[in-house]
Amino acid sequence: MKKIQIFGGGCAKCGVLYQHAEAAAKALGLEYELEKVSDYEKIAEAGIMATPALAVDGKVKFEGRVPTVEALKGILK
Partner 1 sequence: MFKPVQLFADWLTYGVFGLGRETLAGGAVNFFVFDTIKILAMLAAIIYAVAVMRTFLPASKVRDIILKKSRFAGHLWAAALGIATPFCTCSAIPLFLGFVQTGIPLGITFTFLVASPMINEIALVMLFGLFGFKIAALYAASGFTIAVAAGLIIGRLNLEHLLEGFDPSKRVQNHLLGENMPWTERFSYARDYMLDILKKVWPFVLIGVGVGAWIHGYVPQDLLARYTGEGKWYAVPLATLIGIPVYAGCSSVVPLIGALSGKGVALGTMLAFMMAVTGLSLPEFMILRRVMKLKLLFIFFGIVGAGIMFTGFLFNFVMR
Q: Catalytic site residue 42?
A: no
Per CB under 8 A, does 60 bind partner 1?
A: yes
If you write DSSP's letter for every residue of 19-74 in order, what string do you get?
A: HHHHHHHHHHT--EEEEEE--HHHHHHTT--SSSEEEETTEEEEES----HHHHHH
Contact between 71 and partner 1 per CB under 8 A? yes
Nearer Cβ to partner 1 (34/40): 40
Compute the least distance from the CB of residue 69 to partner 1, in Å. 12
Interface region with partner 1, contact rule CB under 8 A, candidates 15-23, 28-36, 44-52:
44-52
Instruction: For the sheet with 59-63, list strands across it.
Output: 32-37, 2-7, 53-56, 59-63
- Show which residues are catalytic: 11, 14
